[in-house]
Amino acid sequence: MNVPPERPDAERALRRLLAIMDRLRDPDGGCPWDLEQSFETIAPYTIEEAYEVRDAIQGGDRQALKDELGDLLFQVVFHARMAAEEGSFDFAAVADAISDKMERRHPHVFGDARIADAAAQTDAWERHKAAERAAKDQNSLLDDVPGALPALQRAQKLSKRAARVGFDWPDLGPVLDKIDEERCELKDAIATGNRARIADELGDVLFAYANLARHLDLDAEEALRGSNDKFYMRFRYIELDLQKEGRPIADVGLDAMEALWQQAKKLDPKG
């Protein structure tokens, strides 16, 4: 693959961004809002920017992707600046750390190791990660699955990790049986009216479905996003149709909305 080299002014552009961040956080004339921020207050923006990168990719909009990657890079710079202020690390240390990690995890590229194919590389990658967990005194196979991941995504990653050491069903049959079992337990919990128990059993149902997605080699998070988008488009169809007729949506009743929903469903090429 012929990849053009990075622009020669990339280093200049990065220095400019770092200087802007320094100025924003300067107690003498910096931005009051930026000066008030902390790791905790900025973290939600960091997560939001990562999702906006994903949306730009999904939309196929490269201009938007460029902008959103810039926003995400700014978040990295912001966190690094705050860390430098407290004497923990700086942006250079962040860049060096990821460079070191990539070289360490790709000895077949940056060293003398030989990797036969992508599957072998995946196995080698996992061995490197296991060694890094041990070095950090993370003794569980699950220790470095981030707790801040979306819950459905984390559920799938946890079950995938456990499956690597054989804690898994061999085929779909027991997975589907487990879903049926969890649904029955949820029904029983609902009958008790105990909200804590209901929440616990609902979580088990969702976890079981995430495990099913893994067995089907599907991304549970992506599947749910698709259903979210589908719901949005069909409900929007109901709203727009009623607006054309001048009928307030709150007044039409469920039967009328269901009829419009079925119309929207027929227009959906995915069915």
Closest to 49 measured CA to CA, from 24, 77, 15, 74: 74
C-alpha to C-alpha distance for 207 and 209, rounded to whole angstroms = 5
Specify the pLDDT at position 271. Answer: 62
Question: For residue 138, with 0-12 CB atoms within 10 Å meaning exposed, 13-18 middle and 19 or more buried, which class applies?
Answer: middle
Q: What percent of the chain has pLDDT over 70?
A: 90
Specify the pLDDT at position 107. Answer: 85
The tokens describing 225, both together, are 């996003």
Closest to 202 measured CA to CA, from 228, 184, 220: 184
Specify the pLDDT at position 70. Answer: 97
- Nearby residues of 52 by Cβ (< 8 Å), 6 or more positions away: 68, 71, 72
Specify the pLDDT at position 210. Answer: 96
Q: How confident is the model at residue 149 (pLDDT cuts 50, 70, 90)?
A: confident
Q: Is the dihedral of CA 64, 65, 69, 72 positive or negative?
A: positive
Residue with tokens 């992506």: 222
C-alpha distances out from residue 207 to 158, 164, 210, 214, Å: 10, 18, 5, 11
Per-residue pLDDT at 74 exceeds 90: yes
In this predicted model, what pLDDT tens digit does every residue of 86-143 receive, in sequence order? Answer: 999 999 999 999 999 899 888 888 888 777 777 767 676 667 666 766 666 666 788 8
Per-residue pLDDT at 224 exceeds 60: yes
Read off the pTM.
Answer: 0.64
What is the identity of the amino acid at 48?
E
Specify the pLDDT at position 96. Answer: 96
b/e code 32-48 from CB counts within 10 Å (16+ = b): eebeebeeeeeeeebee
Per-residue pLDDT at 195 exceeds 90: yes
DSSP 7: P
In this predicted model, what pLDDT tens digit does every residue of 244-266 receive, in sequence order? Answer: 999 999 999 999 999 999 999 99
Question: For residue 208, with 0-12 CB atoms within 10 Å meaning exposed, 13-18 middle and 19 or more buried, which class applies?
Answer: buried
Q: Are 171 and 180 in contact (CB under 8 A)?
A: no
Count, residues in the chain: 271
Residue with tokens 């700014």: 74
DSSP 242: H
What is the identity of the amino acid at 172?
L
In this predicted model, what pLDDT tens digit does every residue of 16-57 receive, in sequence order? Answer: 999 999 999 999 999 999 999 999 999 999 999 998 999 999
Per-residue pLDDT at 6 exceeds 80: no
